[in-house]
Amino acid sequence: MSENQQDASNVTLLFYREITVLNPQRHGGLKIGTPPDQSFAAHTNSVPLVGVEFVECCREYPVVFAQGENGTFNPVAVLGLENSENLFLDEGLAWKANYVPAFVRRYPFVLGDNPQNPTQPWVCVDESCPWLGEDQGEPLFVGDKPSVFLNQTLSFLTDYNLQSQRTVDFCSKLVDLGLLKEQQAQATADGKSFTLSGLWAVDEAALLQLDADKVQELFKSGELAWIYFHLASLANFRRLAERKAAKVPAAVALH
């Protein structure tokens, strides 16, 4: 790509500060090292998910739905009981969980819209990423061609975006079926009470009232499993409270 294709200002995302379109002229000498930690995620209490992640996330994270400013919904993994709190980072800011959400793992890369060719999005990178440099790691380019690593990254990002669109469609279906209900999560740990509001979850009573053909449609698409993974994950608010209180016994209720 030429230098005049570097405007990626339409891409604004959690974690990312200096998003730039990758090209061999500007980034030919860059390498990506191993992340020393996940400090970039230290001050967020939730991250977006795609539906295919529910099966892994439901074992460790509460999976709920958040409503955006435009009224649409998307699933998130809840990471903390307070604003700007991530209880899944240890003292060294390493992620302490068996599964790390793909939104976190893809950093510092992301796909950006290419107005010149919408079917071929740009591969972008956060130039402020501390482990991006010229000293050590995997090269991003070999000559003027993408490296094996960058091609693998493109494949991962492309699949992530496809799953993101599938998840958008899933959330729209939940709304159309009247299955989402606003709730609060209340947790008590070590004598302190915490309330998380603005959460949406599938209403089990409404789910049980669905017509058989609608249930069959959800079953065949695999989305009924997503719903039950989500519902099972709500028990993980207790685990968040235990993390908050350093494993002091906790009480949790979802209303």
Q: Report the percent of the chain where pLDDT is more than 90.
A: 78
Q: How confident is the model at residue 7 (pLDDT cuts 50, 70, 90)?
A: very low
Helix (H) or strand (E) holding 192: strand 192-202
pLDDT of residue 9: 35
Residue 93 resides in a domain: yes
Q: Which two tokens stand for residue 40?
A: 């970039």
Handedness of CA 67, 69, 70, 76 (dihedral sign): negative
Q: How confident is the model at residue 2 (pLDDT cuts 50, 70, 90)?
A: very low
pLDDT of residue 1: 26
Q: Report the percent of the chain where pLDDT is more than 70.
A: 91
How many Å apart are CA 204 and CA 215, to the nearest integer? 13
Q: What is the pLDDT of residues 215-226, one digit of tens each?
A: 999 999 999 999
Cβ–Cβ under 8 Å, residues 164 and 188:
no
Q: Which of 241, 255, 246, 254 is nearest to 192 (CA)?
A: 241
pLDDT of residue 253: 53
* Residue 109, pLDDT above cutoff 50: yes
pLDDT of residue 188: 83
Residue 131 resides in a domain: yes
Q: What is the mean pLDDT of the chain?
A: 90
* Residue 85, pLDDT above cutoff 80: yes
Q: What is the pLDDT of residues 135-184, one digit of tens each?
A: 889 999 999 999 999 999 999 999 999 999 999 999 999 999 999 999 99
Residue 98 resides in a domain: yes
Q: What is the pLDDT of residues 14-49, one digit of tens each?
A: 999 999 999 999 999 999 999 999 999 999 999 999
Cβ–Cβ under 8 Å, residues 81 and 87:
yes
Residue 123 resides in a domain: yes
Q: Which two tokens stand for residue 170?
A: 């899933």
If you average pLDDT over residues 50-70, what whole number do you get?
96
Q: Which residues are bridge partners to 136 per DSSP?
A: none
If you average pLDDT over residues 97-120, what whole number do you get?
94
If you average pLDDT over residues 47-55, what whole number do you get?
98
- SS3 (DSSP) at 197: strand
Residue 193 resides in a domain: no
- What is the number of domains present in the chain? 1
Domain that holds residue 65: 3-180+208-236
pLDDT of residue 233: 98
Cα dist. 126→9, 91, 105, 133, 149 in Å?
12, 25, 13, 12, 16
If you average pLDDT over residues 121-125, what whole number do you get?
95
Residue 195 resides in a domain: no
How many Å apart are CA 186 and CA 238, to the nearest integer? 10
Phi/psi class of residue 86: alpha, beta or left (left: φ > 0; alpha: ψ in -120 to 50)? beta
If you average pLDDT over residues 45-71, what whole number do you get?
96
Residue 165 resides in a domain: yes
Handedness of CA 54, 57, 60, 61 (dihedral sign): negative
Residue 142 resides in a domain: yes
* Residue 8, pLDDT above cutoff 70: no
Q: Is the bond preceding 36 in cis, omega lying within 30 degrees of 0?
A: no
